[in-house]
Structure 1
Amino acid sequence: MAVISGETQLVRNILLSHPDVDFNVLVKGATVLSLSLYKRHFDIFGLLMRHSEKSRKLKLNICSKDHLNRIEPPIITACRMHFLEGVVALVNAGADLDAVDNNGHTALWVASRQQMPDLVEYLISNGASVNKTDRFNYTPLLTALTYRVSSIITKTLILHGSNLEGPKVSIMAQQTPLFWAAKSKNIEIVRLILCAGLPTSEIKSVHRALLMDGELDTQILTLLNSEYQRPPLLRQICRRVVRNTVSESCKGKDFIKHINALPLPVIMKQYLTLR
């Protein structure tokens, strides 16, 4: 009740007088940590996090249910609220960056979908996976492109090794990042995806799907047509294979760090990281 009503001093007194109380118990489907976020009592959230540093008993990844029946861990709640300080506090305390809600969404998915470039950058730099898929097999990148979010976010996800070949369970061209980048007429992202590398067959498939979908952006269609009709250079094939292999082996985490750890000349690492 003290958390719900926002009585900061009362919460502080409880923490001091009952340091061993179990704060992980669900009350109406939510922990006190999640309740402090739902009610936007960020000062109480801070108290609980500082208490957690000392006691090490607060479980940071327990999913709670809010009034809209969203079932999610605190890091996703903080991210959805664009509460950067809260996300940082949770990450520093050891919260799982890839914890998911009841739809399989991660904090990075939420930050990408809600156009929060600062959180996208922060989560990736701290080890969040760019390849974690939700229950519909969508990565943060594919979701960002279907909702036509900022190019800054989609570019960041691509540069950090996001899967470019669409869900493995689907063979539809309409379920690929290239299709959605082309459909939204974002030629900058189309070029970046082509630079990172795709099989010629997939480029051709996307080109055909765009024509069938009635998309007539001449510049993009011409670019795709020239790409699949011209055999890729050996170095381009190597870049695609190496990027895909590294991304899969590191599960989409710390991609650039893993590329830079390869025993290769600097100029080759720059080529692999699209610099």
Structure 2
Amino acid sequence: MDNAKNIVQAAMIGDTQAVQLCLGGRPTQAALIIAAEEGQPDIVKLLLSHGADVNITDRWRYSALLSAASKGHVACQEILIENGANVDQTGIDMASALHCVTGEELTMKDADPYRINTEDSLRLCRSLLRAGANPNIGDGGARGTPVHVAARGDHVELTRLLLEAGADMNAADSLGKKPVDVAPVDSDTKALLLSPSPLTLCQLCRLVVWSSLGKGRLHTVDRLRIPSAHKTFLQFV
């Protein structure tokens, strides 16, 4: 028990050497989740290399990836995805990683919303979508889909990105409201959602390719024998 506490404390301050010294057996779930939440990619790598379960969750049902995403830690999120993290894990509040990176809403785990800057939000969102995260997760729930969250906060670029990845602009939350219904009046996001077709022909073609490949094979886009520019477009780079 003392060793587990030492790992957690070292992870919180990013002390890689101390974590290495403490690792005598399988790392604790708390250490990996805290390292991800604190934005310590080297600690995350170290714990995973020693057999930490990438998908283990805490009492709020938050995994390391969900914790990293909710705090805006791009590097940690990428490492966890590369190691097989479940990109559609939800907490007991039904928030997924996509919900967390597209808004500033309260979660069961935090007393205050964590505000991620727009650039990092877009990077986190692209990363999750490339890994096959479901843009329509939460359909019919109280929180709604990630598009509901993005629209509610008037995050127009995030809304556009989610739509480009196949998010349903007509999805309804538990109150029957669509994303356009929760977007601020006269906002750019509401204007986007009211447009006849927010997607270009190229973007629609990307959705067809993604659908043909299937969620489990999105990582194979880089192997396609097509120009690099086309690969970049398909991968949301």
TM-score by length of 1: 0.64
Deviations 1:83-131 (A, max 9, x none): 4332221122232222211222111211122232332333334443322
**Matched residue count:** 215
Match of 1:175, SS? coil
Say yes or no: does 1:156 pair with 2:133: no
Say yes or no: does 1:79 pair with 2:36: yes
Q: Which residue of 1 aligns with 2:98?
A: 141
Bigger Rg over Cα: 1
Given the alignment, which residue of 166, 169, 180 partners 2:137?
166
Q: Which residue of 2 aligns with 1:37?
A: 7
* In structure 2, distance between residues paired with 1:274 and 1:201: 23
Match of 1:181, SS? helix
- Cα 1:103–1:233, aligned 2, differ >3 Å: closer, same or farther? same
* In structure 2, distance between residues paired with 1:75 and 1:104: 14
State the percentage of identical aligned residues: 24
Q: CA RMSD in A?
A: 3.2
- Cα 1:108–1:122, aligned 2, differ >3 Å: closer, same or farther? same
Contact conserved, 2:90 with 2:96, CA < 8 A, in 1?
Answer: yes
Aligned runs of 1:227-246 on 2, under 5 Å?
229-230=196-197, 235-243=202-210
What's the offset of the Cα at 1:238? 4.1
* In structure 1, distance between residues paired with 2:120 and 2:198: 30
Q: Which runs of 5+ in 1 are unaligned?
A: 1-26, 53-57, 64-71
Aligned runs of 1:115-134 on 2, under 5 Å?
115-134=72-91
Aligned runs of 1:89-238 on 2, under 5 Å?
89-147=46-104, 148-160=115-127, 161=129, 162-167=133-138, 170-172=139-141, 174-199=143-168, 201-202=170-171, 205-210=178-183, 215-226=184-195, 229-230=196-197, 235-238=202-205
- Cα 1:85–1:267, aligned 2, differ >3 Å: closer, same or farther? closer
Match of 2:54, SS? coil
- Cα 1:177–1:39, aligned 2, differ >3 Å: closer, same or farther? closer
Contact conserved, 1:117 with 1:152, CA < 8 A, in 2?
Answer: no
Q: Which runs of 5+ in 2 are unaligned?
A: 105-114
Contact conserved, 1:112 with 1:153, CA < 8 A, in 2?
Answer: no
The residue type equivalent to 1:146 in the other structure is G
